[in-house]
DNA sequence: CTCCATATGTGCGTTACCGCACATACCAGA
DNA sequence: TCTGGTATGTGCGGTAACGCACATATGGAG
């Protein structure tokens, strides 16, 4: 299973018309993305864009005092490095691998060239960017109004959607960094979910036991984001094998 | 002063090359934007895009329970309605006039056509969108980590940058809605700023007395956003008359 | 098997903000 | 001038999350 890699495991690449896909294919480079790897540093130049297939990447904003918050996640539904084609060559956010896996990368000049054709690739990337914007905006609202437990549920669901299994490897410490809350807060929330039988938590390994209940405990933010992704990028589901 | 309207009061329009500017000019329609006007409703179709000249528009996300939060502001530095050219024809956010004034609007099909030329207009709009994304992301972080007082300072500064005066008309109630906090919280924070001599507040009319101190009390978010706008859209300042 | 770094659980005082209630201040129109 | 609606100030109990300290559990390396 894991030894059969294909760019089509990334939904954006999979949604490309044959012409564009075959043009890009020889330039795509399979890369492993280990847990914790920093793909982009805040303010750094973007040398590649990434199309994750099995990895999940967090976009984090880190503040002067070291506190951080996740503003979006990118998995097999998307692309990492939108600021490249949006016009800035750098990004003010940090990109960290949140869940180890694989992805394909493309050299920055090649993507820019493809984008400048102003064809299907450009339109698809812009639609994805629009969906990503929605995710960021909803994160802002969520940070303002929702409890840690609700946000934990949202976060677990967003991660699950980008994985093929119902297990994820992630310590509470790391989740706390993503959500921008205390580790103890995550412990408490995760404990409640565990006692309620929704998840199993054991030293960095989470198994989801009852996804429907998780959705019930989550704030609306999860559904809003998911619905908007589905609306903007329906081909990802229609075409997906 | 107020009777002399020109599209060039909007920095994006002003930054356009002559060719593009003269092509768009006859299609631009001057519109008044009164306080509280809802330009876009969440989920609604976008009939026009707007280039504010003297008005300021808030992008709000409103939740099921009625609670809301501002995710970005758009003034004379930008354009309202980016989801039109990003690919979705609707927007999940609500756009409300936060500070009355004027702006120019352009019919949706005309903007789409201009965008599809894939020329300077498109590149400028995408760079602006990138800056807007930064603002949203920073708002998310700010909501997570900063106090009401810090956020009030940030909000005042962002508004000031989009006005030509040091006064703004805005009740504490409305500011509270924007920031997604209690009205009393704004009262308390504004009271502190007033006692410190940074602002004058009187029944919906704010006068900034000491802007440098306001910047000191603000969180870093203001500077981050401003710096990124300047980086991405330097022409707005170089060319601006 | 033992040890130890790492992960998780728990308690406690503090803080920021909430929701609510109500007092006060101000402007506009009758 | 009075009056009513709107804007602002203030107090109070409740709560969610914080920072910190420390106890406990666990899995892998030796």
- For residue B65 the two structure tokens come to 């329970």
Shortest alpha-carbon distance between residue A180 and chain B (Å)? 7
Average of per-residue pLDDT across A112-126? 95
Cβ of B92 and A116 within 8 Å?
A: no
Nearest-angstrom CA–CA distance, A91 and A194: 37
CA distance A189 to A184: 9
- Residue B112 to chain A, least CA–CA distance (Å): 12
User: In whole angstroms, what is the distance from residue B10 CA to residue B207 CA?
Assistant: 24
Q: CA B191, C1' C25: Å apart?
A: 15
Please write the tens of the pLDDT for every residue from B123-148. Answer: 999 999 999 999 999 999 999 999 99
Q: Give residues lining strand C (CB < 7 Å).
A: A 171-173, 183-184, 187-188, 190-191, 194, 201-204; B 146-149, 180-182, 184-185, 202-203
Residue B78 half-sphere exposure toward CB, CA atoms < 13 A? 26
| Whether B141 and A69 lie within 8 Å, measured CB to CB | yes
For the segment B185-201, the average pLDDT, to the nearest whole number, is 94
Q: Do you know the residue count of chain A? A: 241
Among A residues 132-171, those touching chain B with beta carbons less than 8 Å apart: 133-134, 136-141, 143-145
Distance CA B112, CA B5 (A): 25
Confidence bin at A240 (pLDDT 50/70/90): very low
Q: At residue B45, what are phi and psi to the nearest 5 degrees?
A: -75, 145
Q: How far is CA B227 from the centre of its chain?
A: 15
The predicted-structure confidence for B143-190, as pLDDT tens digits, reads as follows 999 999 999 999 999 999 999 889 999 999 999 999 999 999 999 999
Interface membership of A235 toward B (CB under 8 Å): no
Q: Output the pLDDT for position B238.
A: 46
Q: Are B137 and A135 in contact (CB under 8 A)?
A: no
**Backbone phi and psi for residue B6, each to the nearest 5 degrees, phi listed first:** -150, 140
Pairwise CA distance, residues B241 & B235, whole Å: 11
Question: Nearest CA to B78 among B40, B46, B52?
Answer: B52
Output the pLDDT for position A239.
40
CA at A198, C1' at C5: how many angstroms apart?
29
For chain A, the average pLDDT equals: 93
Cα–Cα distance for residue pair B222/B94, rounded to 1 Å: 22
- In chain B, positions 27-86 with C-beta closer than 7 Å to nucleic chain D are none
| Sign of the CA dihedral with B122 first, then B127, B130, and B131 last | negative
Please name the residue ranges forming H helices in chain A.
11-14, 18-24, 82-86, 108-116, 120-145, 148-161, 172-179, 183-195, 211-217, 221-232, 235-238
pLDDT digits (tens, 9 = 90+) for A67-91: 999 999 999 999 999 999 999 889 8
């Amino acid at each position: 299973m894991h030894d059969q890699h294909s760019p089509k495991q990334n939904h954006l690449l999979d949604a490309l018309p044959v012409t564009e896909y075959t043009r890009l294919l020889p330039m795509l480079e399979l890369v492993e993305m280990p847990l914790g790897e920093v793909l982009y540093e805040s303010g750094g130049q973007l040398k590649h864009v990434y199309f994750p297939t099995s990895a999940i990447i967090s976009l984090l904003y880190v503040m002067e005092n070291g506190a951080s918050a996740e503003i979006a996640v990118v998995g097999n539904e998307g692309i990492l490095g939108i600021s490249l084609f949006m016009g800035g060559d750098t990004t003010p956010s940090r990109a960290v691998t949140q869940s180890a896996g694989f992805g394909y990368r493309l050299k920055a000049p090649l993507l820019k060239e493809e984008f400048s054709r102003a064809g299907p690739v450009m339109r698809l990337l812009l639609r994805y960017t629009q969906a990503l914007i929605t995710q960021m905006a909803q994160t802002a609202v969520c940070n303002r109004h929702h409890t840690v437990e609700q946000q934990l549920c949202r976060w677990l669901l967003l991660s699950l959607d980008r994985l093929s299994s119902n297990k994820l490897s992630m310590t509470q410490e790391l989740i706390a960094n993503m959500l921008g809350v205390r580790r103890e807060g995550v412990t408490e929330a995760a404990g409640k979910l565990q006692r309620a039988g929704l998840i199993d938590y054991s030293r960095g390994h989470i198994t989801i036991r009852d996804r429907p209940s998780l959705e019930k405990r989550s704030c609306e933010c999860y559904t809003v984001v998911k619905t908007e992704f589905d609306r903007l990028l329906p081909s990802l589901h229609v075409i997906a094998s």
